[in-house]
Amino acid sequence: MKSLTLLASLFALASSALAQSTAPQYGQCGGQSWTGATICPSGWSCTYSNPYYSQCLPGAATTTVSSITGGGGGSSSSPTSTSTSSAASGTTTLQAGYSFIRAVEDPNFHKYLQSETLNTPSTAVLGSPSTAGQFEITNGQLIYNANGTTPLYAVVEGRANSTVMKLGMSWSTTPASGANAGTFMWSGDTLEWSIPTITRPALNAWLVCPDAADNLLLYINLGPYDYQTPTGCADETIHAYTGATATP
Candidates 163, 174, 199, 231; binder of ligand NAG (CB under 6 A) is 163
Candidates 75, 93, 150, 172; binder of ligand NAG (CB under 6 A) is 150
Measured from the CB of residue 196, what is the shortest distance to ligand NAG in angstroms? 20
Phi/psi-derived region of residue 50, left when phi > 0, alpha when psi is between -120 and 50, beta in every other case: beta
State the amino acid at position 119 in one-letter form: N
Measured from the CB of residue 95, what is the shortest distance to ligand NAG in angstroms? 15
Alpha-carbon gap, residue 59 to 56, rounded angstroms = 9
* Cβ distance to ligand NAG smaller for residue 33 or 174: 174
Q: Does 146 interact with ligand NAG (rule: CB under 6 A)?
A: yes
Q: Does 197 interact with ligand NAG (rule: CB under 6 A)?
A: no
Q: Are 108 and 233 in contact (CB under 8 A)?
A: no
Pick from 15, 14, 45, 7: which is nearest to 29 by CA? 45
Alpha-carbon gap, residue 106 to 116, rounded angstroms = 20
Q: Does 220 interact with ligand NAG (rule: CB under 6 A)?
A: no
Measured from the CB of residue 164, what is the shortest distance to ligand NAG in angstroms? 5
Measured from the CB of residue 241, what is the shortest distance to ligand NAG in angstroms? 23
* Cβ distance to ligand NAG smaller for residue 146 or 205: 146
Q: Are 13 and 27 in contact (CB under 8 A)?
A: yes
Element (H, E) at 54: strand 53-58
Which residues of this chain interact with ligand NAG, rule CB under 6 A?
120-121, 146-147, 149-150, 160-161, 163-164, 173
